[in-house]
Structure formats: structure tokens, C-alpha cells
Amino acid sequence: MRFLKALGCDFVTCSSGGNTVNRPPVANLGQGYQVPLAAQVKAEAEKPTIAIGMIHDPEYVEEIVATGKADLVAIARGFLYEPGWVRRAAKELDSEVHYPNQYLRAIPQNWPRAFPEQFDKVVVEETQR
């Protein structure tokens, strides 16, 4: 796989081609089932890799990148199902996400009467305009 480096490849998105007749058995299609492929390509091609494969858990995404199995993780169908995935992941991982000013009024903490089940008395302040 070192030929990728010689060809000037910047990174590799690692997929085993799930749309082919040689699909993995359904029993093997769990979250991150293609992460080992990303780790192998990263090691052999010496190029940054992007892991894919039914990945949806923020803690698992953190583990993939932190352990060096891949440099990035693509969420693909997870984003189609849950467009707010990044905000949820940030909350679950005790991190922060920057909100554009026009979104600030829609954040549950800033509109507690509309989202009483999520209100935790934290108010996100508007950034400087």
C-alpha cells in the first residue's frame, strides 16, 4: 500500500466496498466493523485514514482516534438520521460546540420553557457580533 504515498495520496477513506457481492456476513456488521481495515491501511500506507462502518457512539469515536486506529471518523448515515450528532457527542463527552449567533435562541438552555426536560440552568451567552 506504500504506492499510495508515491501517488501523492493525502488520506484514505477505508471501506471494504459494502455494495459488492463479497459483503461481510450480517453477523459481522457491528459498529466499527471496518475500523481494523483503517488501522491496517494507516500502518501499511503511512497515510492518514478515515474509519467508517456503522459508527455512532461518541465514546467509540474518541477511542478510535485516541488509540491511533484512524485519524478521522466519518459518521455518514448517523448524520442523516441525527443531524445534531455533533452537539449530542459534545454533551456526552463533556466538551463544547460553538454555536453561530443565529442558533443561540434555539438552544434548550436559552429557551427553558420550550425544553423543560433538558433545562439545566446553563445559559449559553451570545458571542460578540
Distance CA 93, CA 66 (A): 14
Verdict on whether the full-model pTM lies above 0.75? no
Q: What is the 8-class DSSP label of residue 105?
A: G
Domains assigned to the chain: 3-97 (3.40.50.12600), 99-129 (no CATH)
Q: How far apart (Å, rounded) are the C-alpha atoms in residues 21 and 29?
A: 15
- 76 or 125: which leads in pLDDT: 76
Other beta carbons within 10 Å of 108? 15
The 10s digit of each residue's pLDDT in 45-93 is 888 999 998 999 999 999 999 999 999 999 988 889 999 899 899 989 9
More confident residue, 71 or 11: 71
